[in-house]
Structure 1
């Protein structure tokens, strides 16, 4: 290979590297700019947003929106700063969101693990067909099942209760079964076979052998499920209309109500959205690498 050829190859590689970094920079900008705009709006005064719509810095810097989120402003102060003056019980909404997300996550992970073990380790007639049916349910939009679930919860008298909020989500999910089944299929059968020779039944093997070895993928599934449940909006809005069961995502609608000045509380809405996203961001930053590694190990591409 001549010197000129080597030089051309190096120049080509440099341009490719520059192009790759340029694409990464564009992707980062597209991802980060909406969050920066949310923060800018949250730190602005509602009265100055319209007149400074193109400015990237906060318009008339103010912490008032965050004070309204945490209920630290009176109704008169909130109205004076462009809020609706509606009562906001942030800590109640936060408690409800934590309870709803935690209960549904624990139920989904546990029951998905049981089902995944049955599909991966037990042999029974029609196993593969039933598993294919479970996977097919992933193609059904959740909006199609919302009405039947709502009617069922209504007929059971569970509207505006935590039981009504959690029941449709507390059992196994198709994604959870698929995710854990991939891991269970990759586990060695030698330890299980040795336990069977000692007289252990499937239930004992599941709790004493399989679950301890599946701690990492189950933690990953729990994190992914928790994030999804934390962001759930439509079902809690449909079932939990009363204040005592209202979750944080539904509580954000308070800031969309018209203020006496005739416009929504955009600053308060963005501040509340940021506060609601903080727990999920912390979890993802802390465990994001483990999630990626576990998904790759489980064979999901």
Structure 2
């Protein structure tokens, strides 16, 4: 009679490389989310207690008053009683302005960039690669160099303090967007395109009925990236759209910080407004972050 012996369990040696990688990743996550946690802590604090409890990691004299001030649910007297500066911010109007401008930029820029990317990837015309290299070289030009010419153009067109004036410089194609979509179009099979051309389809029909539907994933990713960039833009909207009627949220937060009737900024209200304004972008990135990474890897960007 034979007896079965259980195989001895092999001791797994500690993988110090994996442990170090996880430790470094944990530190990076803490450094990344640390500012947001501090924003939340300040937003839930009373301004009067911030200075005396500056080293405390928990909210100083916990209160929801800062968020009430942001949403216009407190009077000036109530705001000053809770440590606010007494300044006001038209949060909902600025939020709507940011939404309008970001949407205009996103749809227009992605559409024109898709057309340019298709032309660079699928059409054959003299000097195509040289023109693309020159166009891609504009990535090396800092944006501040084009601020003054763009401002003079918008001013001469009479578009200062308008939604179109804020969005216009970013509504056409951009080098990154064109390069991003061109990488995808280069990987598309030519068989379907050639079959459509044999059936008499022109390039415009192929673009709208074949190329765009197949590129829905990278286009959705590019829309998200473009929307985030437009939402976070500060300098250009400040330069051409400082009127309260078209003021975007980033500029509005800066104005709110500078308005201090009592001499000190309302740090709790400012952090509450900043946290609320960043929340939509954070939720979008959390929801579609994996799609962004997959699309960037599939498009060949390293």
Give deviations 1:190-244, integer Å, cap 9, x for gaps. 1111111111111011011111111111001001100111111111111111111
- Within 2, Cα distance between the matches of 1:202 and 1:19? 53
- Within 2, Cα distance between the matches of 1:160 and 1:32? 35
| 2:208 aligned residue | 207
| SS of equivalent residue, structure 1 residue 52 | coil
Unaligned runs of 5+ in 1: 1-5
Q: CA deviation at 1:80?
A: 2.7
| 2:248 aligned residue | 247
Q: CA deviation at 1:87?
A: 3.1
| SS of equivalent residue, structure 1 residue 245 | coil
Q: CA deviation at 1:258?
A: 4.8
| 1:140 aligned residue | 141
Query: Where does 1:122-133 land on structure 2 (aligned, <5 Å)?
Result: 122-133=123-134
CA contact (8 A) 1:48 1:60 kept: yes
Query: Where does 1:287-298 land on structure 2 (aligned, <5 Å)?
Result: 287-298=288-299
| 1:72 aligned residue | 73
| 2:98 aligned residue | 97
| 1:52 aligned residue | 53
List 4+ stretches of structure 1 deviating above 4 A. Answer: none
CA contact (8 A) 1:96 1:248 kept: yes
| SS of equivalent residue, structure 2 residue 245 | helix
- Within 2, Cα distance between the matches of 1:237 and 1:138? 23
Give deviations 1:254-280, integer Å, cap 9, x for gaps. 331253432111111111110011110
CA contact (8 A) 1:38 1:274 kept: yes
- Within 2, Cα distance between the matches of 1:200 and 1:14? 58
- Within 2, Cα distance between the matches of 1:18 and 1:204? 54
| 1:3 aligned residue | none
| SS of equivalent residue, structure 2 residue 192 | helix
| 2:29 aligned residue | 28
Query: Where does 1:1-301 land on structure 2 (aligned, <5 Å)?
Result: 11=13, 13-301=14-302
| SS of equivalent residue, structure 2 residue 51 | helix
- Within 2, Cα distance between the matches of 1:159 and 1:286? 36
User: TM-score scaled by structure 1?
Assistant: 0.94
Number of residues of Structure 1 aligned to a counterpart in Structure 2: 293
Give deviations 1:152-193, integer Å, cap 9, x for gaps. 111111100111011101111111000000000000001111
| SS of equivalent residue, structure 2 residue 173 | coil
| SS of equivalent residue, structure 1 residue 279 | helix
Q: CA deviation at 1:21?
A: 1.8
- Within 1, Cα distance between the matches of 2:18 and 2:110? 42
Q: Which has the higher helix share?
A: 1
| 2:5 aligned residue | none
User: TM-score scaled by structure 2?
Assistant: 0.94
